[in-house]
Chain A
């Protein structure tokens, strides 16, 4: 019940394309859903986050879509760039953005020039 399942494990997208990463959860007590970007040798960096009372949030080229009834949420990266090549993690927590984060397994994104 504490798991967050992420797919796909890896993704290759052409420059300018849309990258889509999906996550699913079981615990309906989760109240905060962030996405993190991690480059090799670095810690995860917060990209964008959403709360379950909102169905979509957009920040620049990054959009989270949230489906509360399906217990799923996804990250869309529009106009993907080679600099977006990194590992992306979805996460969920109880107790807002200072709570214990449960992470997905990660998606390695490669954007080809």
Chain B
């Protein structure tokens, strides 16, 4: 039990649509990161939020955006979905202060 909950578990969208994925972390987890894991690959860093501010971004286009809320939940938004966006999207959180990140079980997004 990592204390990181993601919803929904599965989602099917069509090209061009928009999607919002959600992550709920334990109280006090000020740092949240989002990763994209394509089938058979390692996770790739999308971005990180610390205390509701973006704190680093990977090599993803601006149509990938995020938010972190005061209640330790966060969102990943993806606009203008493309077929290559089909992947497992993972959220990882940490209370900071040199504590490790723990992952949720992800949202499996399929684009048709």
Chain A contacts to B: CB under 8 angstroms:
6, 34, 36, 41-46, 49, 89, 91, 96-98, 100-106
Contact = CB atoms under 8 A, between A and B. Distances in A.
A89 B42 contact: yes
B102 A98 contact: no
B66 interface: no
11 contacts: A6-B42, A34-B100, A43-B90, A43-B92, A46-B100, A97-B99, A97-B101, A100-B33, A103-B44, A105-B41, A105-B42
Contacts of A96: 98
A6 B105 CA distance: 23
Interface residues of B, number: 27
Contact of B90 (A6, A44, A98, A106): A44
B100 A89 contact: no
Interface of B: 2, 4, 31, 33, 35, 40-45, 48, 56, 58, 90, 92, 94, 96, 98-106
A102 B45 contact: yes
A67 B47 CA distance: 29
A43 B56 contact: no
B104 A43 contact: yes
A46 B43 CA distance: 14
Contacts of B44: 103
Nearest to A46: B100
Contacts of B31: 98
A23 B11 CA distance: 33
A100 B105 contact: no
B6 to A, nearest CB: 8
> Which of A43, A102, A106 lies at the interface centre, i.e. has the most chain B CB atoms within 10 A of its CB?
A43
A43 B35 CA distance: 11
B43 A103 contact: yes
B101 A98 contact: yes
